[in-house]
């Protein structure tokens, strides 16, 4: 019996000895502690055919047993075999360190694309381990819509033109032009314009005399050239323009006086305004006002003037020359003044020597002549009335005497 107990004891020891000798060391203590910290996508909402960058951040935790060698990083369609980007031999990452690996991809179809990022690392013991990270990318169809707006300067000499990008892709190689009647008067360029933003440039319009100008922007978007145009009415002030208004003609001795207002009908000042009697047959400028210097007339203002001239018989109009400066340029115009009604204002029928003319009214004028023929015509209407009254009174007295 004692022999059988000894044999049983040896068997138990043998079993226990084998069990103690085959227990492996804790595997987790030597494994690299690596994780994919983040995957960022740019642009946030790419379009079809546009390059997309996926930045993969790989971190080796501080608790890791040692440095790891990142041997491969690639991205595939989730559940598929299509690879969208791959790179290898990234290098070692120490415990507590990290590395960012950019991957490039393009997508030909719009919609949501579900992807998986795969990272392979090798530990100090040579063991290869793999990690993965899911990511989704929303892809849109490209939109290339843009529009133009323009604001002209107060003097109309320039304009600030703005291209607004309403699309979802960059507008590049932007060129701005200004044209009048299809003729380009200025051209300039604008830096690239990102989606939902704008770019502005100043266009020179100093040589434009038209009331409207057409702005055109050409740009490249989604690998194609596009253009947009807009016609703008220029907010340009009307140049100063002097015209004669309220003109009257008044006989003055042997001459005729022309008087009235020189009015500036424009939106800019007129300087050095000079009014003179123009050359015409039967019209002779005479003192004291052969010409009249008005000076400056502000926009929408006026100044008085007067001229004197002698008129030959039968002259019905007098040319009046108006000369002035606008924006440094001399402007000369001629305006015709009607003098046919001058007699109604003061006896245009009076002759130069003061003798009465043959006016139909019998002469009521201040022309210096009697204005009519005969005694009664010379006395005028008032004297005639007085004489008639005296005759009537004398007649009544004579009648009374006869009756008496």
Contact 118, 90 (CB under 8 A): no
Higher-pLDDT residue of 53 and 14 is 53
How far apart are the C-alpha atoms of 323 and 170, rounded to whole Å?
Answer: 56
At residue 391, the 3 state secondary structure works out as: helix
How far apart are the C-alpha atoms of 301 and 272, rounded to whole Å?
Answer: 14
How far apart are the C-alpha atoms of 382 and 389, rounded to whole Å?
Answer: 11
Contact 349, 358 (CB under 8 A): yes
Question: Does residue 4 surpass a pLDDT of 90?
Answer: no
- As beta bridge partners, residue 201 has 161
Contact 113, 135 (CB under 8 A): no
* DSSP code of residue 33: -
At residue 258, the 3 state secondary structure works out as: strand
CATH of domain 146-233: 2.60.40.10
How far apart are the C-alpha atoms of 190 and 177, rounded to whole Å?
Answer: 11
> Mean pLDDT over residues 183-201, rounded?
95
pLDDT score for 366: 36
Which of 193-202, 203-212, 340-349 is the most confident on average?
193-202
> Mean pLDDT over residues 57-74, rounded?
92
The proportion of the chain whose per-residue pLDDT surpasses 90, expressed as a percent, equals 61
Conformation bin of residue 272: beta by default, left when phi > 0, alpha when psi is -120 to 50: left
pLDDT band at 87 (very low <50, low <70, confident <90, very high): confident
318 closest CA partner among 351, 290, 297: 290
Contact 102, 53 (CB under 8 A): yes
Contact 362, 369 (CB under 8 A): no
Which residue bears the tokens 């203590």? 29
Q: What is the pLDDT of residues 325-374, one digit of tens each?
A: 998 899 999 999 999 876 433 333 333 333 333 333 333 333 333 333 33
Give the containing element (helix H, strand E) for 58.
strand 52-60
Q: Report domain extents, the chain.
A: 34-139, 146-233, 242-342
Contact 225, 267 (CB under 8 A): no
Is this model's pTM higher than 0.85 or not? no
Give the containing element (helix H, strand E) for 383.
helix 375-403
Contact 249, 339 (CB under 8 A): yes
How far apart are the C-alpha atoms of 387 and 290, rounded to whole Å?
Answer: 45
* DSSP code of residue 171: B
34-139 shares its CATH topology with 146-233 = yes
Residue 320 backbone phi and psi in degrees, to 5 = -115, 120
pLDDT score for 394: 46
Tokens of 275: 């009014």
How far apart are the C-alpha atoms of 122 and 90, rounded to whole Å?
Answer: 11
299 closest CA partner among 263, 272, 275: 263
The sign of the dihedral angle between the CA atoms of 198, 202, 207, 211 is: positive
Q: What is the pLDDT of residues 216-241, one digit of tens each?
A: 999 999 999 999 999 998 866 788 99
213 closest CA partner among 236, 176, 189, 181: 181
Question: Does residue 266 surpass a pLDDT of 70?
Answer: yes
Which of 252-256, 343-347, 392-396 is the most confident on average?
252-256
Torsion of CA 291, 293, 297, 303, to 10 degrees: -70
pLDDT band at 31 (very low <50, low <70, confident <90, very high): low
pLDDT score for 198: 96
pLDDT band at 100 (very low <50, low <70, confident <90, very high): very high
> Mean pLDDT over residues 144-170, rounded?
92
pLDDT score for 150: 92
pLDDT score for 350: 33
Question: Does residue 12 surpass a pLDDT of 60?
Answer: no
- As beta bridge partners, residue 214 has 179, 231
Looking at domain 34-139, does it have CATH number 3.40.50.720? Answer: no
Compute the C-alpha angle 202/205/206, nearest 5°.
Answer: 120
Tokens of 213: 């100008």
Q: Which fold has domain 242-342?
A: Immunoglobulin-like (2.60.40)
The proportion of the chain whose per-residue pLDDT surpasses 70, expressed as a percent, equals 76
At residue 365, the 3 state secondary structure works out as: coil
Higher-pLDDT residue of 346 and 99 is 99
How far apart are the C-alpha atoms of 126 and 403, rounded to whole Å?
Answer: 169
At residue 303, the 3 state secondary structure works out as: strand
How far apart are the C-alpha atoms of 389 and 404, rounded to whole Å?
Answer: 23
């Amino acid at each position: 019996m004692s022999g059988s107990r000894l044999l049983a004891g040896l068997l138990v020891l043998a079993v226990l000895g084998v069990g103690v000798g085959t227990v492996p060391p804790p595997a987790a203590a030597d494994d690299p502690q690596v994780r994919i910290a983040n995957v960022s996508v740019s642009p946030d909402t790419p379009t079809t055919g546009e390059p997309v960058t996926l930045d993969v951040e790989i971190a080796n935790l501080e608790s890791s047993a040692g440095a790891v060698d990142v041997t491969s990083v690639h991205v595939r369609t989730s559940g598929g075999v299509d690879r969208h980007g791959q790179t290898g031999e990234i290098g070692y990452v120490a415990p507590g360190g990290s590395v960012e690996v950019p991957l490039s991809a393009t997508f030909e179809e719009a919609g949501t694309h579900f992807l998986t990022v795969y990272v392979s690392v090798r530990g100090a013991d040579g063991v290869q381990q793999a990690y993965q990270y899911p990511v989704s990318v929303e892809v849109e169809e490209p939109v290339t819509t843009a529009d133009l707006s323009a604001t002209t300067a107060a003097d109309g000499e320039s304009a600030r033109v703005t291209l607004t990008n309403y699309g979802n892709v960059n507008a590049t190689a932007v060129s701005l032009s200004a044209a009048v009647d299809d003729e380009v008067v200025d051209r300039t360029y604008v830096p690239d314009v990102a989606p939902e933003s704008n770019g502005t440039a100043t266009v020179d319009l100093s040589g434009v005399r038209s009331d409207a100008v057409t702005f055109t922007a050409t740009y490249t978007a989604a690998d194609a050239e596009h253009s947009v145009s807009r016609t703008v009415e220029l907010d340009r002030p009307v140049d100063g323009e002097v015209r004669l208004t309220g003109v009257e003609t008044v006989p003055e001795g042997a001459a005729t006086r022309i008087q009235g207002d020189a009015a500036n009908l424009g939106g800019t000042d007129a300087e050095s305004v000079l009014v003179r009697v123009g050359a015409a047959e039967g019209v002779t400028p005479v003192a004291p006002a052969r010409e009249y210097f008005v000076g400056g007339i502000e926009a929408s203002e006026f100044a008085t003037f007067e001229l004197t001239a002698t008129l030959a018989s039968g002259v019905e109009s007098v040319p009046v020359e108006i000369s002035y400066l606008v924006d440094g340029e001399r402007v000369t115009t001629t305006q015709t003044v009607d003098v046919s009604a001058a007699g109604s204002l003061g006896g245009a029928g009076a002759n130069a020597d003061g003798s009465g003319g043959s006016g139909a009214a019998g002469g009521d004028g201040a022309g210096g002549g009697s204005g009519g023929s005969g005694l009664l015509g010379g006395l005028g209407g008032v004297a005639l009335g007085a004489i008639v009254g005296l005759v009537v009174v004398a007649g009544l007295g004579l009648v009374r005497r006869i009756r008496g």
